[in-house]
Amino acid sequence: MDLKKSRDNIDSIDEKILNLLNKRALEAINIAKLKKDKNLKGYSPERESSMLKHLKQLNKGVFSSEDIEIVFREILSVCRAQRTTLEIAYLGPQGTFTNLAAIKKFGKKPNFIPSISIADVFDKVTRGEADYGVVPIENSTEGAVNHTFDMFLESNLNICAEEILNISHALIGTTKKGIKKIYSNPQVFAQCRNWISLSLKNVQLIPTVSTAKAAQEAKKNSSSACIGNKALANIYGLKVIASNIEDSPHNCTRFLIIAKNDSPSSGEDKTSIVCSINDRVGALYDVLFSFKSFGINLTRIESRPSKKKAWEYYFFVDFEGHRNNELVQKALKKLSNECKFVNILGSYPKGN
């Protein structure tokens, strides 16, 4: 076929897509009205997760599963915006990995609210200034973000979704020559320590609360640079000096979406809890056996000091299954008999 005929075919396909998108938006508006009448939340993490999974399974074309998710995330975002504008708080400023995770989860249409700290994200959602918050919880190479765990001990908010973001770091600044200072988040320095020691010796590493704050500092002086995602270069008028400088090619970070309520079952869910165990021999074993006895798979267990009494710990546990599942409920009932307290932080769809 010649070029004109191919372009004509694309124009015809695009017109059909446009017509279907508008039909979809009208259905989304109708659903929004029904939800409002029933006093239901406009955003349904479990529904969107199931929908994306179904579309990926149906896909037999040239698009990858990642392509399908990128396209339909934005369709979902734009259709959702026809009925409501979500307010999303995230650890800012603009350009942080948490900002990218928020966009990946919700698309580009919500109103994104940068927050100065993880505590500030929790506060904005608690006060109703934001519908949802996005906070980091763990990195695949550097482990837990302890401040987020600690906030769950002080907050009544729930986890309603999670997002997994592949992490790639870049050295950003004006020029590689003459760099004396590098700014970044402490976890980012840890994820790039080998590259830094080999490529930039005798530089001063200065920790910042976020990679975006690091970019703001680097912009002030030509002898300074920062480490973060490439998007920071465009946002803050800097240059990408070196790309993919992370030590591990399999570096990813898990983010939690927090809200006043968790999510109904999607069919593929996780539940997160925090518990405090009794001070006796075999107590932790009994906690773990509470899950094993009902065939429930634990995906993570993390301990944090209570800060109230020396050598007293809280345990954060993630496991497969929804809190409304019969076996999960039996396991939690057994667990409550072994612990001082058990608090369910939320059930939510598994992240991709």
Query: CB–CB of 155/122 below 8 Å?
Result: yes
Tell me, rounded to whole angstroms, the distance of Cα 112 from its chain centroid.
14
Cα 22 to Cα 184: distance, rounded to the nearest angstrom: 44
Residue 108: C-alpha distances to residues 73, 88, 112, 182 (Å) = 9, 11, 9, 30
271 flagged as catalytic: no
Catalytic residue among 253, 291, 294, 316: 253
| Phi-psi map region of 267: left, alpha, beta (phi>0 left; psi -120 to 50 alpha) | left
For the chain, the distance separating the N- and C-terminal CA atoms, rounded to the nearest angstrom, is 39
Catalytic residue among 97, 189, 255, 315: 255
Q: Which of 322, 236, 238 is nearest to 273 (CA)?
A: 322
Query: CB–CB of 263/46 below 8 Å?
Result: yes
Query: CB–CB of 101/163 below 8 Å?
Result: yes
63 flagged as catalytic: no
Question: Which residues, at least 6 apart from 129, have a Cβ–Cβ distance to it below 8 Å?
Answer: 87, 89, 113
CA atoms 23, 27, 28, 29: torsion sign: positive
Cα 102 to Cα 190: distance, rounded to the nearest angstrom: 23
Joined tokens for residue 18: 């446009």
Phi, psi of 214 (to 5 degrees): -60, -40
Cα 119 to Cα 150: distance, rounded to the nearest angstrom: 10
**Where do the DSSP E strands lie in 87-203?**
87-91, 111-115, 132-139, 143-144, 158-166, 170-173, 181-184
Query: CB–CB of 173/327 below 8 Å?
Result: no
Instruction: List active site positions.
Output: 253, 255
